């Protein structure tokens, strides 16, 4: 592609709307433009990146035996009503109405559509298993779209859905997808981790996420290299502390703690570490009452774990301050277990505390020297908290570490949740109708583009992993108007490289050298060639590697071979 024929506008200044680096660089490098909140146009150079990602995804899905289809983006309400999600999916679902006043939605996902397709197309166990996939635009009306392509409302997703006679068959495809995903992210040159996950609203049992590692990631993932355990913090079990709880040693005492509502305030005021404080969170119970959840002061409630408790109302809802006051006689911030007439469920670590500090159930007071069993009833126990760095790994290999990740892939074993609701059945060997078992497998294609930048950039701009760079090579022609020899040589090299199958960006614009250098760095193509009168005098061309900055002079006759070796190298960029 010739830059002289491309209306390419880069930005020297960072647009005010962009907060994260990937969003800033995508805009500055002229790859995308925002149309409205959470909705973007892909410009010519940006689209090349997206297409390269799609191609890798497509190749690996095909290799794994999946079948590409393309389903409609607009979906009739009837199918969503069949599974009950028309009502349950909520405001995330963009609902639209046609001229006949019929209800539709713009698809945020395609379980209903594919299940409808499967029940129409599939008749016999002989046709199973089958795995359909598509690469397509989704729309989710996010509460707050942000971070550019990372949390957009409209985005490109690869979603796949598999159909099976039984769980064993599902397992096989599920593992094949896990392997395909690992191949995809490896091929794209991304540093990633596969982690155990919560299956969330989609339902089903087993589920794993694929995270691109980046400090700006929205998710926390817990892992242990020694035993290869890795899980989203949402899903990582916190083990009970070892050893027996110490015996009570201190007397129960009430202490005045005026205005001290938070653990930080109480801990600092009483000079007691947060690890010896108890915090109680009052949530709505499934029986219409209130349930108290007890955590150690330094721990954080895991809402996924808490939401699974039978005693807790779904969805997990904190009790209102008014209700707390009415039921306990004390305002929030001063609630403790002593004398509390509410069921308490304690996290294992909170249940292991002795001689701890807790709210006094009286405004302006806490208690010290509190002990379970002696001062308050022994609580029920459960795993309620997020793991923290240093916690023992559930795999037994040692302490956990925490890293940040961007979720770019998620695979689920759905079971029969949708096939049952929509009566997607085939006949088995005995001629009996059997509900199919399903799996589903998603990849955030457009999000991968943002995640790759979050993970691969420097102060000059993007540093694409080679497999997703918009071009393999950028060739800068310096001052083309000054020298016909330079222009002619550049044209010859441009042709030679393209004939060898390389994607080459030729900067043949009548622009100053400094502009060309700066914009090439911003765009982030891994390999750069520079041809000017200076190098032409030596019958050479200058090469520079974007990521390392390493430079070399290459004889004109050797350019093709030199680059072929570079491109063939395993180093992804």
Partner RNA sequence: CGGGGUGUAGCUCAGCUUGGUAGAGCGCUUGCUUCGGGAGCAAGAGGUCGCAGGUUCGAAUCCUGUCACCCCGACCA
Residue 514 within binding range of RNA, rule CB under 7 A:
yes
Nearest approach in angstroms of CB 513 to RNA is: 3
Q: Which stretch binds RNA (CB under 7 A): 8-16, 77-85, 214-222, 425-433?
A: 8-16
Query: Judged by CB, which is closer to RNA: 55, or 286?
Result: 286
CB atoms within 10 A of CB 114: 25
Question: Which of 16, 168, 568, 570 contacts RNA by CB under 7 A?
Answer: 16
Nearest approach in angstroms of CB 347 to RNA is: 11
Nearest approach in angstroms of CB 18 to RNA is: 8
Residue 548 within binding range of RNA, rule CB under 7 A:
no
Question: Which of 107, 108, 145, 524 contacts RNA by CB under 7 A?
Answer: 145
- In sequence order, what DSSP letters do the residues of 142-172 get, joined into one string? -SS-BTGGGB-SEEEEEEEEEEESSHHHHHH
Nearest approach in angstroms of CB 251 to RNA is: 21
Site string for RNA, 341-370 (x = CB under 7 A): ------------------x-----------
Residue 521 within binding range of RNA, rule CB under 7 A:
yes
* Per-residue three-class SS string for 93-141: CEEEECCCCCEEEECCCCHHHHHHHHHHHCCEHHHCCEEEEEEEEEECC
Q: CB–CB of 324/332 below 8 Å? A: yes
Q: Which stretch binds RNA (CB under 7 A): 30-38, 68-76, 163-171, 490-498?
A: 30-38
Residues 425-484 that bind RNA (CB under 7 A): 460, 478-479, 481-482
Nearest approach in angstroms of CB 531 to RNA is: 7
Q: Give, as one character, the DSSP assignment of residue 202.
A: G
Q: CB–CB of 152/120 below 8 Å? A: no
Residue 103 within binding range of RNA, rule CB under 7 A:
no
Question: Which of 98, 533, 552, 558 contacts RNA by CB under 7 A?
Answer: 533
Give dist(CA 291, CA 273) in Å, integer.
26
Question: Which of 51, 58, 95, 146 contacts RNA by CB under 7 A?
Answer: 146
Residue 17 within binding range of RNA, rule CB under 7 A:
yes
Question: Which of 10, 420, 483, 487 contacts RNA by CB under 7 A?
Answer: 10
Residue 185 within binding range of RNA, rule CB under 7 A:
no
Question: Which of 394, 532, 572, 573 contacts RNA by CB under 7 A?
Answer: 532
Nearest approach in angstroms of CB 114 to RNA is: 28
Q: DSSP 3-state helix, strand, coil percentages of the chain (rounded to 5)?
A: 30, 30, 40
Cα radius of gyration (the chain): 29
Residue 46 within binding range of RNA, rule CB under 7 A:
no
Question: Which of 303, 311, 483, 487 contacts RNA by CB under 7 A?
Answer: 303
Structure tokens that stand for 7 in this block: 């209306």
Is the N-terminal amide bond of 220 cis, ω within 30° of 0?
Answer: no
Residue 324 within binding range of RNA, rule CB under 7 A:
yes
Query: Judged by CB, which is closer to RNA: 28, or 119?
Result: 28
Residue 123 within binding range of RNA, rule CB under 7 A:
no
Q: CB–CB of 158/443 below 8 Å? A: yes
Q: Give, as one character, the DSSP assignment of residue 229.
A: E
Question: Which of 83, 115, 381, 535 contacts RNA by CB under 7 A?
Answer: 535
287-305 as b/e, with b when 16 or more CB fall inside 10 Å? Answer: eeebbbbbbbbbbebbebb
Helix (H) or strand (E) holding 189: none
Q: CB–CB of 381/348 below 8 Å? A: yes
Nearest approach in angstroms of CB 29 to RNA is: 8
Q: In the beta sheet, which residues pair with residue 461?
A: 458
**Residue 78 neighbours by CB under 8 Å, 6+ apart:** none
- In sequence order, what DSSP letters do the residues of 260-318 get, joined into one string? --SHHHHHHHHT--GGGBEEEEEEEBTTSSEEEEEEETT--B-HHHHHT-TTB-SS--B
For residue 463, the SS3 value is coil
Give the Å distances, CA to CA, from 505 to 48, 499, 527, 546, 564.
12, 14, 10, 14, 16
Query: Judged by CB, which is closer to RNA: 167, or 479?
Result: 479
Q: Which stretch binds RNA (CB under 7 A): 80-88, 213-221, 247-255, 330-338?
A: 330-338
Residue 15 within binding range of RNA, rule CB under 7 A:
yes
Question: Which of 74, 96, 143, 485 contacts RNA by CB under 7 A?
Answer: 143
Residue 401 within binding range of RNA, rule CB under 7 A:
no
Question: Which of 177, 224, 282, 443 contacts RNA by CB under 7 A?
Answer: 282
Give dist(CA 111, CA 505) in Å, integer.
41
Question: Which of 149, 150, 197, 263 contacts RNA by CB under 7 A?
Answer: 263
Q: CB–CB of 85/112 below 8 Å? A: yes
Question: Contact positions toward RNA, by CB under 7 A?
Answer: 9-17, 19, 28, 34, 36-38, 143-147, 261-264, 278-282, 300-303, 318-319, 321, 324, 332-335, 359, 386, 460, 478-479, 481-482, 512-515, 517-522, 530, 532-535, 542, 544
């Amino acid at each position: 592609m010739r830059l002289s024929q491309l209306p390419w506008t880069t930005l020297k200044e960072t647009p005010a709307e962009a907060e994260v680096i990937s969003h800033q660089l995508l805009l500055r490098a002229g790859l995308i433009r925002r149309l409205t909140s959470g909705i973007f146009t892909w410009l010519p150079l940006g689209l090349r990146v997206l297409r390269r990602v799609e191609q890798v995804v497509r190749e690996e899905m095909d290799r794994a035996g999946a079948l590409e289809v393309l389903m409609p983006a607009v979906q009739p309400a009837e199918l969503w009503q069949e599974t009950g999600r028309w009502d349950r999916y909520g405001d995330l679902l963009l609902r639209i109405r046609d001229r006949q006043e019929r209800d539709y939605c713009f698809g945020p996902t395609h379980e209903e559509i594919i299940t409808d397709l499967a029940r129409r197309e599939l008749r016999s166990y002989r046709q199973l298993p089958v795995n359909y996939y598509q690469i397509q635009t989704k729309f989710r009306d996010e509460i707050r779209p942000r971070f550019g392509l990372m949390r957009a409302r409209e985005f490109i997703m690869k979603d796949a859905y598999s159909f099976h006679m039984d769980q064993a068959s599902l397992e096989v495809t599920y593992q094949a997808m896990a392997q395909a995903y690992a191949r995809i992210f490896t091929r794209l040159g991304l540093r990633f981790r596969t982690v155990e996950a919560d299956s969330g609203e989609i339902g089903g049992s087993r589920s794993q996420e694929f995270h691109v590692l980046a400090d700006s990631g929205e998710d926390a993932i817990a892992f242990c290299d020694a035993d290869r355990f890795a899980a989203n913090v949402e899903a990582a079990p916190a083990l009970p502390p070892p050893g027996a709880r110490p015996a009570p040693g201190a007397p129960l005492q009430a202490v005045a703690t005026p205005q001290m509502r938070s653990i930080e305030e109480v801990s600092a005021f009483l000079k007691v570490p947060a690890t010896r404080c108890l915090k109680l969170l009052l949530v709505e119970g499934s029986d219409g009452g209130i349930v108290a959840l007890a955590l150690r002061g330094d721990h954080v409630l895991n809402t996924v774990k808490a939401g699974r408790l039978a005693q807790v109302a779904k969805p997990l809802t904190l009790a209102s301050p008014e209700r707390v006051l009415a039921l306990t006689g004390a305002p929030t911030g001063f609630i403790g277990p002593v004398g509390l007439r509410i069921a308490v469920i304690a996290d294992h670590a909170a249940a292991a505390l002795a001689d701890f500090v807790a709210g006094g159930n009286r405004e302006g007071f806490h208690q010290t020297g509190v002990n379970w069993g002696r001062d308050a009833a022994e609580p029920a126990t459960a795993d309620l908290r997020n793991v923290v760095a240093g916690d023992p790994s559930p795999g037994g290999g040692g302490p956990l570490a925490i890293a940040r990740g961007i979720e770019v892939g998620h695979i689920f074993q759905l079971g029969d949740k949708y096939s049952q609701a929509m009566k997607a059945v085939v006949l088995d060997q005995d001629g009996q109708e059997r509900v199919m078992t399903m799996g589903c497998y998603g990849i955030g294609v457009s999000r991968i583009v943002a995640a790759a930048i979050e993970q691969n950039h420097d102060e000059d701009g993007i540093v694409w992993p080679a497999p997703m760079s918009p071009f393999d090579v950028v060739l800068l022609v310096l001052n083309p108007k000054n020298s016909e020899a330079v222009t002619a040589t550049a044209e010859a090299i441009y042709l030679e490289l393209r004939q060898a199958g390389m994607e080459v960006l030729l900067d043949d614009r009548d622009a100053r050298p400094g502009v060309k250098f700066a914009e090439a760095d911003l765009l982030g193509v891994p390999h750069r060639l520079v041809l000017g009168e200076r190098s032409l005098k030596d019958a050479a061309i200058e090469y520079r590697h974007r990521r390392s900055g390493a430079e070399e002079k290459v004889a004109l006759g050797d350019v093709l071979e030199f680059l072929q070796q570079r491109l063939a190298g395993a180093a992804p960029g």
